[in-house]
């Protein structure tokens, strides 16, 4: 290697380092650590410990995003973190706070999608606009699409008495539809789970379809061979309540409670959250049937 070529390579390396701040370098090298942290959290069985730890983890992700604002993995992790914390530990006790947390997750998801080229105003976009905007996205966009749609849909779910918010549900569906096209089994069949709720939570005259809901819940269950207990919990909460099948409602939830802890180690926390939610739903059974 000649001295001229060596000097050129050194100059290029120094230029690249100068373009990337120390904070960005730390943020980017921290992504693999965050992945390990998320995996460890998913395996946690102590709900008290998990609830105490999650806010600090979320704030750490936000701090890393401040250093590297365009990092897609961090933006998706933030959307996922706000969704998981709100759903698992806040929603049943404080719906207003949960809505605010879902909104924060949605904002990170939107930032990620905009980074991927989805240049639309989500507040005013109609489903057709969203279809066009996401049509060119590939598998690398699946996490962002999934968690953005999930956070957005939960905000709507907590505002079912607001017609303006309910009108947005079809827009969330177009984001999830792209996930279904690209990677339907992402996050343990999460897209199927979304559609189970989407079709099951509304009366047929309002766009619901109980048969399609049941089919999607079955597809979600098949992805993990029935090991992800949230599938049965959400089927009971949304589909069986809507079609007033009290026997099936109770059967699904008692089955969740009787499932042994540790039966699905890689999603132990989600299953513990499912058990807690099943207990809550059974305590409200007389209010709904």
Tell me the CATH number for domain 3-288. 1.25.40.920
pLDDT of residue 32: 55
pLDDT of residue 167: 82
Residue numbers in the chain where pLDDT is lower than 50 = 8-17
Question: What letter would DSSP give residue 120?
Answer: S
- Give the separation between CA 249 and CA 284, rounded to whole angstroms: 11
- DSSP-assigned states of every residue in 254-282: HHHHHSPTTSSGGGHHHHHHHHHHHHHHH
Please state, in angstroms and as integers, the Cα–Cα distance from residue 75 to each residue in 141, 147, 272, following that order: 11, 10, 26
- What pLDDT, in 10s, does the model give residues 161-188? 888 888 888 999 999 999 999 999 999 9
The model carries a pTM of 0.88
pLDDT of residue 29: 53
pLDDT of residue 10: 42
- Domain map (residue ranges) of the chain: 3-288
Contacts 24+ apart (CB under 8 A), 195-201: 196/220, 196/231, 196/234, 196/235, 196/238, 196/239, 197/153, 197/157, 197/234, 197/238, 197/239, 198/153, 198/169, 198/173, 200/235, 200/238, 200/239, 200/242, 200/243, 201/157, 201/238, 201/239, 201/242
Radius of gyration of the chain, Cα coordinates, nearest whole angstrom:
21
Q: How far apart are the first and last CA of the chain?
A: 80
- What pLDDT, in 10s, does the model give residues 63-115? 999 989 999 999 999 999 999 999 999 999 999 999 999 999 999 999 999 99
Helix (H) or strand (E) holding 216: helix 210-223
Do residues 39 and 72 touch, judged by C-beta distance below 8 A?
no
């Amino acid at each position: 290697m000649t001295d001229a070529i060596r000097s050129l390579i050194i100059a290029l390396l120094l230029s690249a380092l100068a373009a990337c701040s120390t904070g960005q370098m730390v943020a980017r090298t921290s992504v693999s650590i965050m992945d390990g942290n998320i995996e460890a959290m998913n395996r946690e069985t102590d709900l008290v410990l998990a609830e105490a730890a999650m806010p600090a983890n979320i704030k750490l992700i936000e701090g890393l995003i401040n250093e590297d604002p365009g990092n897609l993995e961090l933006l998706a992790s933030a959307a996922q973190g706000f969704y998981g914390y709100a759903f698992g530990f806040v929603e049943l006790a404080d719906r207003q706070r949960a809505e605010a947390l879902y909104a924060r997750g949605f904002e990170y998801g939107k930032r990620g999608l905009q980074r991927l080229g989805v240049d639309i105003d989500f507040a005013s976009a109609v489903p057709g606009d969203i279809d066009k905007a996401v049509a060119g996205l590939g598998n690398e966009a699946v996490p962002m699409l999934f968690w953005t749609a999930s956070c957005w849909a939960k905000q709507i779910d907590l505002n079912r008495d607001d017609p303006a918010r309910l009108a947005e549900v079809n827009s969330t569906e177009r984001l999830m539809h792209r996930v279904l096209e690209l990677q339907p089994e992402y996050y343990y069949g999460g897209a199927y789970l979304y559609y189970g709720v989407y079709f099951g939570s509304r009366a047929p005259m309002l766009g619901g379809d109980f048969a399609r809901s049941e089919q999607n819940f079955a597809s979600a269950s098949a992805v993990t061979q029935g090991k992800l207990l949230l599938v049965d919990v959400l089927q009971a909460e949304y589909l069986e309540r809507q079609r007033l099948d009290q026997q099936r409602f109770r059967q699904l939830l008692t089955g969740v409670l009787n499932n042994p802890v540790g039966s699905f180690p890689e999603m132990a926390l989600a299953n513990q959250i499912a058990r807690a939610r099943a207990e809550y739903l059974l305590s409200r059974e007389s209010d709904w049937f």
